[in-house]
Structure 1
Amino acid sequence: MLSRRSLLLAPMLATATGAYGVGIEPLLHTNVTRYLVRPASWPAGLKLKVAVIADVHACQPWMDIERIGQIVQLTNALGADLIVLLGDYVAGHNKITAIVPDHDWADALGNLRAPLGVYAILGNHDWWADKSAQSLRRGPIAARLALEKAGIPVLENDNIRLTKDGKDFWVAGLAEQEALLGYSSGRYVKRGIDDLEATLAAVPQDAPVVLLVHEPDIFPRVPERVSVTLAGHTHGGQVRLLGNALFAPSQLSLTYCYGHFFEGGRHLIVSGGLGCSWWPVRFGMPPEIVLVEIQGQVS
């Protein structure tokens, strides 16, 4: 039987936990989570550090320009060879005091610096927020234009060859898997503009490649020749109790909700991201920047 003291403390604890999840963890903590992966397809002697920023969801007061600037400084200080942005730059919920205009968050991210450059893909909220693109059923969307104006190339079903220590590798960016909203046969549907085959078509079969995707749902279709797939979107569940996510946008996103997955010789790393969607709360899943070190296998 619960004591009277327990009954009095329970609502106080619930209130304090809720206040932490809404007012502290989303705003103050930014972890750096590190992974080391050794894909079979990665060249011996090529060591690559990739910093990953996912799901910024710029808005006031939760992710204002000052906060984004702090994240940029922290990311730059990691000494990564390459920085990648995995989409969802715009607000993902309406529990905000003001939007952050596209050109403001893009200009802030434009201060990211890495020897091999900064590359971006787009997310579902970036597409959903662009009413003109939804009406026309095509891009380029406002988020892409803002990123490119800030000097950050955007990869949509496209790839680029980079070189480090005299060795080539490719970065490929998949277009959004849930870009367009609408109805089909009376059902609400989300239609993607992603084309995995086209994204990898120009990459030589035996070349090392890092694949950037927003949703991890595509992972079962990723061929083994892809060295590492980097994803965001899930926010790690955003609220985790006893290490378990309470919610994810889809069953596959729940399967690949957070962390490092290794299946059939393929590596997937899913970032917990930085911002919030649905509701401005994170609990047990602090905002994070991910640093991935990719090395060849030890013989």
Structure 2
Amino acid sequence: MFGPVNDRYGADVLSGDWKAPPRGRSQQIPAERDLVVEEVETGWCGAIVGVEKAGGMRVVHLEDRHGRVRAFPLGPGFLIDGAPVELVPPASPDAGRLAAAREAASRTASGSRAVADAPARVARGSRIFVEGRHDAELVEKVWGADLRVEGVVVEQLDGVDDLRAVIRDFAPTAQRRMGVLVDHLVPGTKEQRIVDDALAIPEAREDVLVLGHPYVDVWQSVRPERLGWEQWPVIPRGTSWKHGILAELGWPHANQADVAQGWKRILGTVRTYADLQPELLGRVEELIDFVTANG
């Protein structure tokens, strides 16, 4: 039996990155304020307190622990924790803000990637139905760009009391799907009974999807923080909910014109999907997916 072979030459000296210097290869590091570095030639160690142009070149100012400051050319020749680095100019705050603005501009209000110069698609047969004008306006503000790209039309129901008849009139098929968004769809409510009755008919068997949010009205799907509240107030029974909300806000609430104006002000606080409650966001996204699933 032979024992282990004694490799007197050791490992292959040419394997791996054999050209790398002993301290490793230099990495580019932004010269951010307060970063502690050491200048190789002088051994000066200090925190970065500034970067500026001087004599046609960029220099970095290092302050040592005694408060003394020296300037060195920006570039290679520095160490961080013993590893070589090349100091490069830090990103300017303006550049960061510009990049953030460009990123925001490249997305729709719903958070989707914006499609530049995309024409509105010819409307497909599938539709999304919402209860009223305010629901439609909110969906348009946040998802309008996405819906135009997908060719999805949003129609108003003016309530769901005749939902069974609306489904029969629409005559949904696999190429003509029907999505419905219902307010205050929670167990035990009138709305839940209406939806259950409507979904029992044969026409609603496969190509109809009815979803709802738990809020009394679509107004309530706006995050209360947008109106300066921690939560939406509870309006006593017997009081018109919308009029009661406007009264809580201290806004005019005497008639329907006041209600319409109040809704415009509430809608004006909505900038993107982030200003809406997740219970509404998820339902609308599901409905869009459902009515576009047939291509």
Given the two structures, how large is their TM-score scaled by the length of structure 2? Answer: 0.29
RCO higher in 1 or 2 (8 Å CA, sep ≥ 6)? Answer: 1
Higher percent of residues as strand: 1
Given the two structures, how large is their TM-score scaled by the length of structure 1? Answer: 0.29
Higher percent of residues as helix: 2
